[in-house]
């Protein structure tokens, strides 16, 4: 079986500035990948390049073997990749219910599907807020809404960019618990987060970016042990 996502030799520019320098990226079914790197090293840029949200200047992206290089973002999403962006991207003018319902897509055959009920069971806070506008939720609730909305598309992989950013520690812990639950269902996840110990303990594999290039791609457990390595690249 081909990997869920397989990208080769990705180069991405913002205008004249060359941000990604030939990145190879692979995500296998059911795998949890921690994507790490200091501020501005290109994590978000890489995710957006994979998702069709930024044009590639070179390289290729395949999803489940199908060539989606340069494809529109909706085609990547329909191939089974869901995205929880940095800054959340909820629709503030839609109610919680509408935010969830508008995204609903049936699961592929044989998959236990994420329905509105199941999402609300996972996020009881959202169930209490169904008729509120997305814009009126707290930061933690908005984050739950974005994750819940992504699950409503019944993806094979969930990409989380800074899902706990700006949240109170207690709320962040709740989000980590939920990410753990999602992981346990067998869904592949890509996690970008500032909290090194939380990411590295949940991830099977870790990938570190420095200035738009991969400097580490390997076992997350080994990275945790190798203090010198993560001090050097992550400063933690």
Partner 1 sequence: MAARQGRLGSQVDIPSFFIQILNSIQYGLLLFLCASGLTLVFGIMGVINLAHGSLYMIGAYLAFSLSEHLGSLWLALPVGVVLAVVFGAVLEWLLIERLYKREHLHQVLLTYGLILVFEELRSVIWGDDVHGVSMPPLLAASIALTDTLSYPVYRLWMSGVCLVLALLMAWVLLRTRLGMIIRAGSVNSEMVQSLGINIGVIHRIVFAAGVGLAAFAGMLAAPVSSVFPGMGNQVLIICFVVVVIGGIGSLKGALVGAILIGVVDTFGKVLTLEIAGVKILPELAGMSIYLLMAVILIWRPEGIFGKVRS
**Partner interacting with residue 42 (select from ligand ATP, partner 1, Mg ion, none; CB below 5-8 Å by kind):** ligand ATP
Distance (Å, whole) CA 192 – CA 44: 8
Specify whether the CB–CB gap between 157 and 188 falls below 8 A.
Answer: yes
Window 55 to 94, contacts with ligand ATP (CB under 6 A): 86
Binding mask 64-93 for Mg ion (x = CB under 5 A): ----------------------x-------
Question: Which one, of 119, 55, 114, 108, lies nearest residue 80 by Cα?
Answer: 108
Shortest approach of ligand ATP to residue 89 CB, angstroms? Answer: 14
Least gap, CB of 203 to partner 1 (angstroms) = 23
Q: Are strands 81-84 and 5-14 parallel, antiparallel or unpaired?
A: unpaired
Smallest distance, Å, CB 211 to partner 1? 26
Q: Binding residue for Mg ion (CB under 5 A) from 44, 49, 146, 164?
A: 44
| 44 lies in the site for ligand ATP, by CB under 6 A | yes
Size of residue set near Mg ion by CB under 5 A: 3
Closest CA to 70 of 27, 7, 14: 7
Q: In whole angstroms, what is the distance from residue 34 CA to residue 27 CA?
A: 11
Q: How far is CA 27 from the centre of its chain?
A: 11
Q: Taking CB within 5 to 8 Å according to partner kind, which of partner 1, Mg ion, ligand ATP, none is near residue 73? A: partner 1
Span of 39-47, 121-129, 144-152, 181-189 interacting with ligand ATP by CB under 6 A: 39-47
Chain contacts with partner 1 (rule: CB under 8 A): 51, 53, 72-74, 77-78, 82-83, 85, 89, 91-94, 98-99, 101-105, 149-150, 153
The residue among 38 and 105 lying less far from partner 1, judged by its C-beta, is: 105
DSSP character at residue 4: S
Do the beta carbons of residue 205 and residue 217 sit within 8 Å? yes
Beta carbon nearer to partner 1, 52 or 202: 52
CB 98 within 8 A of CB 91: yes
Strand boundaries in the chain, DSSP class E: 5-14, 17-27, 32-36, 58-63, 66-67, 81-84, 157-161, 188-192, 205-210, 213-219
Binding site for Mg ion (CB under 5 A): 43-44, 86
Binding site for ligand ATP (CB under 6 A): 14, 17, 19, 37, 39-45, 86
């Amino acid at each position: 079986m081909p990997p869920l996502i397989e990208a080769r030799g990705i180069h991405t520019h913002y205008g004249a500035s060359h941000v990604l320098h030939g990145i190879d990226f692979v995500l296998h079914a059911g795998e949890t990948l921690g994507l790490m790197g200091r501020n501005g090293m290109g994590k978000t840029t890489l995710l957006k390049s994979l998702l069709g949200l930024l044009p590639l200047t070179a390289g290729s992206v395949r999803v489940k073997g199908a060539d989606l290089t340069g494809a529109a973002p909706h085609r990547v999403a329909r191939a089974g990749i869901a995205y929880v962006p940095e800054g959340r991207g909820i629709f503030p003018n839609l109610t919680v219910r509408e935010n969830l319902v508008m995204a609903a897509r049936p699961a592929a055959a044989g998959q236990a599907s994420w329905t509105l009920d199941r999402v609300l069971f996972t996020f009881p806070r959202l169930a209490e807020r169904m008729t509120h506008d997305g814009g009126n939720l707290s930061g933690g609730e908005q984050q739950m809404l974005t994750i819940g909305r992504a699950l409503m598309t019944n993806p094979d992989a969930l990409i989380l960019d800074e899902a706990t950013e700006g949240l109170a520690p207690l709320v962040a812990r709740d989000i980590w618990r939920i990410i753990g639950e999602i992981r346990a269902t067998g869904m592949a996840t890509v996690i970008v987060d500032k909290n090194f110990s939380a990411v590295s303990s949940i991830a099977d594999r870790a990938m570190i970016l420095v200035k738009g290039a991969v400097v580490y791609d390997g076992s997350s457990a080994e990275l945790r042990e190798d203090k010198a390595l993560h001090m050097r690249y992550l400063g933690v």
